[in-house]
Amino acid sequence: MTTIESLSDTFVAAPSLSTWAGPVPVPDRDSAFYWSGLSERRLLVLACNTCSYLIHPPVAGCPRCSGTDLGQHELAGTGIVYSFTVVNREFAPGIRPPFIVAIVQMDEQADLRMLTNLVDVKIGDVRMNQRVRVVFQQISSDATLAFFTPEAS
């Protein structure tokens, strides 16, 4: 029987940054700024202009102060692995397992977290609280995705 431990030394978590065969995002009115920022290699989130709270994913109002005066804030693109799991089953066509789904806690705010894939890392090398940084991958002529990879130690 194959176990995660036996895979950890040989398999690098997919999806690979060299190719993308998975689904392509379709921006909507609320998220268009986010996807546009990714195409410019910028990681943007909403920011409340009343209380400065950072918001992701995008919503119509600030969950902290209920303000509706929202702007955009560019993140540094660094954080820590808050949680992760190794996916061993194909859930989306084109994204072949195994791959790592992670929640990354962004440096700018403790409760600002992004759901992402970790790439260019051996499965057995991923750790909680591991420092990571964003990497951008253009997947089509008009779409770019943000993944995270471990920072150099």
CB 50 within 8 A of CB 95: no
Q: What is the pTM of this model?
A: 0.87
Residue 15 pLDDT: 53
Residue 5 pLDDT: 46
Place of tokens 């990497």: 135
pLDDT digits (tens, 9 = 90+) for 17-44: 556 788 888 999 989 999 999 999 999 9
Tally of CA atoms within 13 A in the half-sphere of 68 that contains its CB = 1
Four-residue CA torsion sign, 144, 90, 114, 121: negative
**Extents of the domains making up the chain:** 4-150
Residue 80 pLDDT: 98
pLDDT mean over 44-52: 98
Does residue 9 surpass a pLDDT of 80? no
